[in-house]
Structure 1
Amino acid sequence: MGGGRGGRAAHRGARAGTGQGAGPLRRGGAAVTRIAFAADDFTGATDALWQFRRLGLTGSLVTDVAHLHDRDDVIGIATTARTSADPASVVLPAFTALAALRPLVIQYKVCSTFDSSPQRGSIGGVVAALHRAGLARGPVPVLAAQPELGRCTWFANHFVRADGDVHRLDRYPPARDHPVTPATEADLRVRLAEQGAGRTGWLPASPSEEEYRARAGDAAFVADAVTDEHVRALGRLLLADAATRGPLCCVGSGGLSHALASALTSAPA
C-alpha cells in the first residue's frame, strides 16, 4: 500500500452486499466512524485495514493524527509503538485523537505473535496507560488469535501453526529466539502481567454473556479463539459491550479486526 500526500493512505470500499461505491455505513442519515484503530507499526496497520475492507467497510489509514477524519466506517493510524521503549507515549495521543471521533471501538492493533517485552513495545504497558488516562472504561479485551494465519489461543496460551506442526509460542523458534522481543512465555496472562498490565483474566472461546460479564473486575482479559467462529462470536459480544460503554478499548491482532468487521457488517444498520 502506498502512502498518500500529507502522510495519508486512503482506501475506500463499498458496504458489504450493497455494491461498489455505496459509501460508508450511516447512523441517523449521517456517515460516522464506527471503528478506529492505532497499530503498533505500518505493516500491522495495513493488515487491520484489510480485515475491514475485505468485508466491505470503507476505511482510511493515516500516519499523523492531524489527518484523522470521520468520513469512513473505519479510520486507522500507524504508529512506531512496536519498537518503542515507551509505547504508551506513542499510543495514548493516537487513542485520545481517535476517541474524539466517538467510534464504538478503538483497537490497539498488535502482531498475532504478540511481539513485545517489558523493555520494548510493551503491550501490558499500553493497557495500564489506557486505564491511567481514563480511556479504558472497564477491562480491556485482548485477542491475539488469528486462526486463518494459524495463530490460536487456548486457556490463554498462544500457539502458532507452521511447517506442518503446532508450536506453543515460547517454543516457536522465530518468536522464542527473537533478538528484541523474545517469547519467554506462552501464557499471555503472564506476559501481560510481566509488562505491568495489572490483573489479567481469561475468557473461554464462544463465551456466554455471563462469562463475559464475569471479567468486569479485570484490568484486561485474554480471549481464547481457535476457529473463525470463535473470533466472530467474540466480535458480537464486543460490539454489544461497546454500545453500552463505548468507545471500547481493546487490543488484538488482525483476528480482532476481523471479529469487529464481521460483527459490524452483520448487525442491523
Structure 2
Amino acid sequence: MLLGVIADDFTGASDIANTLTRGHNGQGGLATAQYIGVPDHDAAPDVEAGVVSLKSRSVPAEEAVELSLAALAWLQAQGCRQIVFKYCSTFDSTPEGNIGPVGEALAKAVGTAGVVACPAFPATGRTVYQGHLFVHDRLLSESGMQNHPLTPMTDPDIRRFLRKQTQDDVGLVLAATVHQGADAIKAALQTSATHGETLAIVDAISDADLAEIGKACADAPLLTGGSGIALGLPGNFIARGLASGKAAGFAGRPGPEAILAGSCSGATRGQIGVHASSHPVLAISVDDVMAGRTTADDLVSFITANEGNAPLAYSSATPEQVAEAQRRYGREEVAGRLDALFADTARRLVDDGVRRLVVAGGETSGAVAQALDLGDLAIGPEVSPGVPVLVSRRRNIALALKSGNFGGPAFFNDALRALAGDIRS
C-alpha cells in the first residue's frame, strides 16, 4: 500500500476513495479499498490506497485522536508512504474538536509540521480563499451549515476556527502563493513549519490549485483536508512508476433496492421532494420514534411492500423541526435513536435480500455501515461528484453513501441505476 487515508466518517471515506480511484486529468488513479473501522487483517497485496472509515467526527476529541492513531498504526504497517487525514469539505466540527486535535496528533506521530489543511472541493462548490471557506457563492456561515444539528458552522474563517482547537498556531498559505505553483507552496509550508505552525490552511479555488498542492506535497508524510486534497496525489506515485493508474471494472448489482435518508441538509430535503413526486416515500416522525410507535418493523414492511419502485424512508426535517426535537428529547438521544433505527432497518433489509442500498447523511451512513459488517469495500463508478458506488463482496451488495449536501436533484434515482450497473463513469 502506497497511500493511506484516515477518514472521520463513512461518506467522507467514500468521497476520497472516489477521488483516489479517478485521479486527475486522465492520469489514472490508484487501486483503492475502503475499510469499515481499523481492519484486523492485512490489506490485499494489490491495494495501492487504503481508506479507513472511522465514525469519529462527533465523538469526544480524545476518542477521535485514539481512533485516528490506531488507524495510522495499521496504515503504516501496510507500508504507506503518505497519510491523509480526511474531514468534511464544510469543515464540520465544533470549537472543542476534532479536526485540530487529530491533525496535531497525527503530525506529531509522523514527525512533521507545516501540514496542509485544505477542505476545498471545487467540484461540489467548496472553495477556500483568504483562509475563508465558501460553499458556492456563500460564506460557510451563510450556506445552511450554520443550522447543522451536530456541528453548526458559524465562522467561515477556518484558520481562526481551527486555532480554537489547536495547541500550536495555524498558518495560512494564500491564493497568490498557490498560483505561483508547487515550489512556492512547498516553500510556504516549510516556512510555516519553521514558525511552529503544525497545521496551515491553504487556499484553493480550483482543481488546478489542488493539483499544484498535490505536487508540492509529493514527499509530505501527512496532509489533511477534504477529498479534493487527494486530487493530485495519485499522479505522484504513477509518475514514479509505483502505481499502474488502472482501476478495476464494475459489473453492477441488480436486485431489490432501498433508500434510507437521515440527513437534514437542504440538498437532501430537495432530493426527497423530487423523489416523492414519482416514488413511494415514508416520512419518519421523531416523536413516533422516541415513543416507540415507529420501529424497524415499519420501515422494513414499507420498503418490502414497495420493492421495484425505489422506496425511500426518511427522517429529514427542517432546521426548526430538528431544533424542537432536540429541545424536547436531547440532541444525542435523538441522533442515537435514529441511527439505531436506520442501522437495524438496513441490516434486516440486506438479510432479506436487498442488493442495492442508498443512504443519505454522514452519521446515518456510518451507523448503517457499521451494522452491516461489510468487510473491505471496492470502489466502483461515480454516481455524482464525491459519491462512488461501493461494493461489498462479503454481503454481495452495492451501496451509495451520500453526504447530506452532495448530489443533484435526481440523485436517488441516479444512484440506484449506478448500483445496477446502468451508469458508468
8 Å CA contact 1:176, 1:183 repeated in 2: yes
Structure 2, unpaired ranges of 5+:
24-28, 243-425
- Are 2:204 and 1:225 equivalent residues in the alignment? yes
Structure 1, unpaired ranges of 5+:
1-32, 243-247
Which structure carries more helix by proportion?
2
Q: For the structure 1 residues 81 and 68, does the alpha-carbon distance in structure 2 shift closer, same or farther, using more than 3 Å as the test?
A: farther
State the alpha-carbon separation in 2 of the partners of residues 54 and 154 from structure 1. Answer: 26
Show the counterpart of 1:57: 30
State the alpha-carbon separation in 2 of the partners of residues 210 and 110 from structure 1. Answer: 25
Show the counterpart of 2:278: none
Show the counterpart of 1:140: 115
Deviation, structure 1 residue 229: 0.6
What TM-score comes out, normalization by structure 2 length? 0.50
- Over residues 160-205 of structure 1, what are the superposed CA-to-partner deviations in whole Å (9 max), with x where a residue is unaligned? 11xxxx01111212x1111221112111111111112521101132
- Are 2:15 and 1:47 equivalent residues in the alignment? yes
- Residue 176 of structure 1 aligns with an amino acid whose one-letter code is Q
8 Å CA contact 1:62, 1:68 repeated in 2: no
Q: For the structure 1 residues 261 and 211, does the alpha-carbon distance in structure 2 shift closer, same or farther, using more than 3 Å as the test?
A: same
Show the 5 A alignment for 1:119-138. 119=96, 122-132=98-108, 134-138=109-113
- Are 2:184 and 1:210 equivalent residues in the alignment? no
Show the counterpart of 2:143: 172
Deviation, structure 1 residue 220: 0.6
Show the counterpart of 1:14: none
8 Å CA contact 1:232, 1:263 repeated in 2: no
State the alpha-carbon separation in 2 of the partners of residues 107 and 188 from structure 1. Answer: 19
Q: Quote the RMSD (CA, aligned, Å).
A: 1.9
Max Rg structure: 2
Show the counterpart of 2:329: none
State the alpha-carbon separation in 2 of the partners of residues 235 and 101 from structure 1. Answer: 22
- Over residues 7-56 of structure 1, what are the superposed CA-to-partner deviations in whole Å (9 max), with x where a residue is unaligned? xxxxxxxxxxxxxxxxxxxxxxxxxx221001111111111111111133
State the alpha-carbon separation in 2 of the partners of residues 171 and 262 from structure 1. Answer: 35
Tell me the percent identity: 27
What TM-score comes out, normalization by structure 1 length? 0.77
Q: For the structure 1 residues 236 and 74, does the alpha-carbon distance in structure 2 shift closer, same or farther, using more than 3 Å as the test?
A: same
8 Å CA contact 2:114, 2:190 repeated in 1: no
Q: For the structure 1 residues 117 and 197, does the alpha-carbon distance in structure 2 shift closer, same or farther, using more than 3 Å as the test?
A: farther
State the alpha-carbon separation in 1 of the partners of residues 18 and 227 from structure 2. Answer: 9
- Are 2:91 and 1:114 equivalent residues in the alignment? yes
Show the 5 A alignment for 1:12-91. 33-55=1-23, 56-63=29-36, 64-69=38-43, 71=45, 72-86=47-61, 87-91=64-68
Question: Could you tell me which of 126, 131, 141 is aligned with 1:156?
Answer: 131
8 Å CA contact 2:52, 2:71 repeated in 1: yes
Please say which of residues 228-237 and 121-130 is displaced more in the overlay.
Answer: 121-130
Question: Could you tell me which of 80, 100, 124 is aligned with 2:77?
Answer: 100
State the alpha-carbon separation in 2 of the partners of residues 76 and 258 from structure 1. Answer: 15
8 Å CA contact 1:52, 1:261 repeated in 2: yes
- Are 2:224 and 1:251 equivalent residues in the alignment? yes
